Structure 1
Amino acid sequence: MSAVPARSELDGLVALVTGGASGIGAATARLLQARGARVAVLDRTLDGVPEGALSVPCDVTDAGQVDDAVATVIDRLGALDVVANNAGIGAVGDIAGNDDAEWARVLDVNVTGIARVTRAALPHLRRSDNAAVVNTCSAVAFVGVRQRALYSASKGAVLALTMAMAADHVGEGIRVNAVAPGTAETPWVTRLLAAADNPDAAAEALRGRQPLGRLVTAEEVAEAIVFLCSPQAGSTTGAVLRVDGGMTTLRV
């Protein structure tokens, strides 16, 4: 009996993943490769880039670096069909917990970074028959979570930006969607817990606010991103897929 062939719905497509050297981004890059895509990873640090992906150093807060990185992807891989805007940073505190410089830094990475990368990719996406952009949003765009004022503001902006981009480019055949993870097992959350006064209690609190009773895995978020990238989701645009263990919708 012959083995069942691997899924390959992304065969022939070229995908770019920002923040793809760790966490959700690395899981997304690996899964895109497994589904047949050729993948380029843009990140400031490239140590964790999945084997076989094109590694491109890039700080998404620098427009010149972004333009050069996208040009490198086109030069090396010949096209661009999918952009997964995953690069992002966290922030902790209430409205008084971060100064103006930190507000500017987080919004620059989490929001304007999406604009820079997509703007640079847009001429190439317009030439694709399967153009898709997926932005990484968050459950905090939908519900109020304590000590996340700046981070929530940035992800609320990602939600609004996703809808606007979807409306602007639907007529060009470019689909734009987002995923909204709950608290996920990522390096940032690991560092957050390590800095807590009582890491065990902090971890239990994070698990407890998600009805499934556990953190979301990076691989689960990657599955959602890759689905939205796929031509199999060809009629899905302007959508937000919540991968949050019921955090934003269930009260149990």
Structure 2
Amino acid sequence: MTSTTSTTSIPPQDQPRVIFAGAGPGDPELLPLKTHRLIAEAQAILFAGSLVNPAVFAHCPPTADVADSAAMDLETLCDWMITRVKAGKTVLRLHTGDPSLYGAIAEQIRRLKAAGVPYEVIPGISSFLAGAALLGTELTLPGFTQTVILTRMSGRTPVPEKEALEKLAAHRATLVLFLSTGMVEKVAEACLTAYPPETPAALVYRAGWPDQQVIRGTLATLPEQVKEAGINRTALIYIGDCLQGQGEDSLLYHAAFSHGYREGHQ
């Protein structure tokens, strides 16, 4: 049996292509430098208008061809990109956060490949990282958990049965849920099969935007708190003991811990 190795090469910089770029969580100052430069040089920009803050590309050239993909279906937005690349333009496709997480880029890439259009992907700061920063917490807290599970409740996009929230909750790791705020009661119900009711829980709404908001509670109280706040989308749910901030010290900086840059001592 032989094995093959497949690699994806980045097109030459002067070759028209589609660049999928993470536009960060919303704060223009959390935009990657590379993406900031590409916006300043952009010939065409297609952005997810329902999620990407327009402030992140306010510095794009006035001559840039800019369109909002919010009202487009998959075939329309892919045709928009393909048409412009074949006309000699590089298209900057701006996704919220990091495009590798719930970015729906795989289906776009498949169509670009079928059309013979080159592409590349530039990472961005995910909203779950911006949310953790806003909460002022370490998600991998020594003494509590060294695992973070990123997931979502099943909706229009189904979740495989092996990844049902009750099964993931059984690990008692830090949980971060995308695209699930409108089902926060079901989230709590599923997690209460494994976590105690007093487990710290929080919701972060639009981290990085001017109207960002944090709701802190417990697994038992969060659904009612979110309902009272009137939030049903564009938010992340955090569940886990890491949110209480108490735990053991990491061994990394322990005086007795030796590594390549420091000799430990008792």
- TM-score when scaled to structure 1? 0.35
Which is helix-richer, 1 or 2? 1
More strand by share: 2
TM-score, structure 2 as length reference: 0.34
